[in-house]
Structure 1
């Protein structure tokens, strides 16, 4: 299931960008259908009747919207909502009485390897949690601004208002469905290089090993992490 979920996640920005670049309602419907399958994958694989019915209703609605002037509008929401949600999850973990999200991950990695976690690493992981929350929050705000400003499919234009700083649908999509991931990837790589220098004694040897070690924490760890 994890592989299929990853495939659906990777397919969404491709479909969404093709829809915006070509102003094609069919691609937009395909992108949103991909997202519906991603969100309902587990109950669908379990053959839950309610999930099958909900998917059928969503597909019918997406087909109807794809034939209208609002075909591309549903694509405006996911880059804002999902990134804002992840930013909130990082930020929520910084509240008093909670353990910062990245601190919990680092604790899991070090405990798995039987290594102690220093006070400096505790501070660093908290600062990194804050940095991720801030970066994701800024991207969510930027995505919202572009979703309002896109022409002709942006929210303001569809409501009959001229956006003060208009951008094309393709420019919106380039940022929301391509550059977002590039910015996040660049931040991850830069932070990893900094972490290598500051903490040379760690339970992983490379970026690939880091991802492998995180996967070994197991689904139970990751499901509890976001509670």
Structure 2
């Protein structure tokens, strides 16, 4: 892992805590600027372009403007919605006819060509993850519209991540039961493989 990737990972892990304390302490501009740091940390290694340079300069300016206009809290409520629906799209687009479901793609990278029952299970699990992220996205919208900053932050920065982890944990024994004839990898290895998503 490169230094920039390590920095980005550290910033991403810390973001929920920064966001929660920024919201609850009345300083939502802080997590907005933290998002700018995450964007800057993702730039090394990418082809340089005027668009990326403009975005890199615009991010902190937009954060400060939102803060001065009194809309930093509103701006901070957008990223969770965008992220959830982005993941729903990443999973859902692979369900189109003629495409291999994303979970099945991960299985093929780990095991090679999959037997039909395993590929079918991967397709169904991809549907589950797609619907899961759609539901989370709708939840983020409703919380952003009707919940207090504290409850919005509690769900989007902590509870939703716990729900994602719970789905990983609950799915593993179900997989072992449904595909009982398959030689299963340990849970940690399975989790590592699942996290290596090809987002292209």
TM norm. shorter chain > 0.5: yes
For residues 79-98 of structure 1, the aligned pairs below 5 Å read 79-98=80-99
Aligned to 2:102: 101
Give 1:202 shift: 3.2
Are the equivalent residues in 2 in contact too, given 1:109–1:214 (CA < 8 A)?
A: no
Give 1:70 shift: 1.0
Are the equivalent residues in 1 in contact too, given 2:31–2:76 (CA < 8 A)?
A: yes
Q: 1:145 to 1:123 in 2, by over 3 A?
A: same
Q: 1:213 to 1:45 in 2, by over 3 A?
A: closer
Instruction: After superposing the two structures, state which structure 1 stretch, 6-15 or 101-110, moved more.
Output: 6-15
Q: 1:129 to 1:171 in 2, by over 3 A?
A: same
Cα deviation 1:137-174 (Å, max 9, x = unaligned): 1010111111122xxxxxxxxxxxxxxxxx21110111
What is the number of residues matched between the two proteins? Answer: 195
Question: Is structure 2 residue 160 aligned with structure 1 residue 180?
Answer: yes
Aligned to 2:33: 30
Are the equivalent residues in 2 in contact too, given 1:102–1:129 (CA < 8 A)?
A: yes
Query: Deviation above 3 Å: which 4+ runs of structure 1?
Result: 44-54, 197-203, 211-215
Are the equivalent residues in 2 in contact too, given 1:15–1:30 (CA < 8 A)?
A: no
Distance between the aligned counterparts of 2:155 and 2:192, measured in 1?
29
Instruction: Specify the structure having the higher radius of gyration (Cα).
Output: 1
Are the equivalent residues in 1 in contact too, given 2:16–2:157 (CA < 8 A)?
A: yes
Question: Is structure 2 residue 59 aligned with structure 1 residue 58?
Answer: yes
Distance between the aligned counterparts of 2:102 and 2:46, measured in 1?
30
Aligned to 1:164: none
Q: Secondary structure of the residue that 1:15 maps to in structure 2?
A: helix
TM-score (norm 1): 0.75
Instruction: After superposing the two structures, state which structure 1 stretch, 167-176 or 51-60, moved more.
Output: 51-60
Give the unaligned 5+ runs of structure 1.
150-166
Give 1:118 shift: 2.2
Instruction: After superposing the two structures, state which structure 1 stretch, 17-26 or 125-134, moved more.
Output: 17-26
Q: Secondary structure of the residue that 2:99 maps to in structure 1?
A: coil
Q: 1:49 to 1:110 in 2, by over 3 A?
A: closer
Q: 1:60 to 1:134 in 2, by over 3 A?
A: same
Cα deviation 1:70-99 (Å, max 9, x = unaligned): 121211111101110111121111111111
Give the unaligned 5+ runs of structure 2.
none
Distance between the aligned counterparts of 1:18 and 1:103, measured in 2?
39
Question: Which of structures 1 and 2 has the larger relative contact order (alpha carbons within 8 angstroms, sep 6+)?
Answer: 2
